[in-house]
Copies of this chain bind each other. A is one copy, B any other.
């Protein structure tokens, strides 16, 4: 007998029929003797409907009341799913976040979980019941309803799995797992059986949006085995686990990429202490997030300073830099380019294997792709290239690192 937490997102519970399908899936596991806690989101479309109502009431709806409003979305789903379970003969009981109780801080619309009381859930599980919990929501010390912000239902699932010491936390989505890269770019992309938390974090932050980063961090921190599966297909999905797995692992797990990048270079910057913060301070003050930062070796007392931002922030960032030119003095020039992309190889294997970077660079060179910037972390190497090379670069790297699906 295993204990699983299943999390179903808004699309998976978006209609009466889909909720019934979830009930059937849960019944199967329950009948097999497993203990199941189901975490559900609001039916797809419901949150948007409620937000629209709120905005008709108040241009900037009060956070506390927005949480009271939005939390009804999941509350509807838990009741309906419990009924659907009863209808197929499975005893079940629903819980709102407050009923569990999932204690959070008081940061309305983006609360953090502090503590989970598992006593009631445990009693229900031991009595043979399926426990159905509203995702995305909690309650603060004063009894106010809170919500966890974006992707909050994933976080609820992981947090419950941690509190209950569940064997696995299954995140049901509309994809059947994590792929070596986007199958729309590389048709030979493979579903990964396993991926480490760290790799998943790098993949997710690079745009492979299968899971919310926060829930992955949470799972890693609390030692929860996460599995990403499809709500609509059968299959084992992808297990997100620890590096310590003994399985034979590829050097590189996947190729991630990001099309939303733009690059800004300041040339002829005086190479003095504090110059980086002089440049990036005002950028940060404008709430512009900086991704990669590269500073070239100084020559003749000046340096070139390059960084990337989201393409939407390109114009704003550029005008911040224009305002800095006088202050920086000298012959500082600003060069901008918003037709670049970032391509990254991700894998814990690179920790213990030399030569991965050079394989990457050689692969790109062989295809005639010029590398504009390079940035590395412990388990990731990212390069910036002209956007016209994106597909070519990803496919070449996918092949070079033996990620292509074997043909049967």
A contact set with B: CB distance below 8 Å: 16, 19-20, 50, 53-54, 56-59, 61-62, 64-66, 68-69, 71-72, 75-76, 78-80, 82-84, 86-87, 93-94, 96, 98-99, 143-145
Verify A57–B19 contact, CB threshold 8 A. Answer: yes
Verify A65–B87 contact, CB threshold 8 A. Answer: no
Verify B96–A83 contact, CB threshold 8 A. Answer: no
Q: Looking at the complex, which one of B50, B58, B86 makes contact with A65 (CB distance below 8 Å)?
A: B86
* Chain B min CB distance to A246 (Å): 45
Given A72-B75, A75-B72, A86-B62, decide whether A80 and B98 contact each other with a Cβ distance below 8 A.
no
In angstroms, Cα B20 to Cα A267, docked, is: 57
Verify A57–B83 contact, CB threshold 8 A. Answer: yes
Given A62-B86, A79-B69, A83-B62, decide whether A99 and B143 contact each other with a Cβ distance below 8 A.
yes
In angstroms, Cα B82 to Cα A20, docked, is: 35
Q: Looking at the complex, which one of B57, B66, B75, B94 makes contact with A87 (CB distance below 8 Å)?
A: B57
Contacts of A20 in B (CB 8 A): 57
Q: How many subunits of this chain does the assembly comprise?
A: 2
Q: Given known contacts A64-B94, A65-B82, what 15 new A-B pairs fall within 8 Å (CB)?
A: A16-B53, A16-B57, A19-B57, A50-B76, A54-B79, A54-B80, A58-B83, A61-B83, A62-B86, A65-B79, A65-B83, A69-B75, A72-B72, A72-B76, A98-B98
Contacts of A143 in B (CB 8 A): 99
Contacts of A16 in B (CB 8 A): 53, 56-57
* Chain B min CB distance to A5 (Å): 20
Verify B58–A86 contact, CB threshold 8 A. Answer: yes
Q: Looking at the complex, which one of B19, B68, B93 makes contact with A94 (CB distance below 8 Å)?
A: B68
Contacts of A76 in B (CB 8 A): 50, 53, 69, 72
Considering the complex, give the chain B residue whose CB is closest to the CB of A16: B56
Verify A65–B94 contact, CB threshold 8 A. Answer: yes
* Chain B min CB distance to A392 (Å): 50
In angstroms, Cα B76 to Cα A66, docked, is: 10
In angstroms, Cα B96 to Cα A295, docked, is: 56
Considering the complex, give the chain B residue whose CB is closest to the CB of A23: B57
Considering the complex, give the chain B residue whose CB is closest to the CB of A73: B72
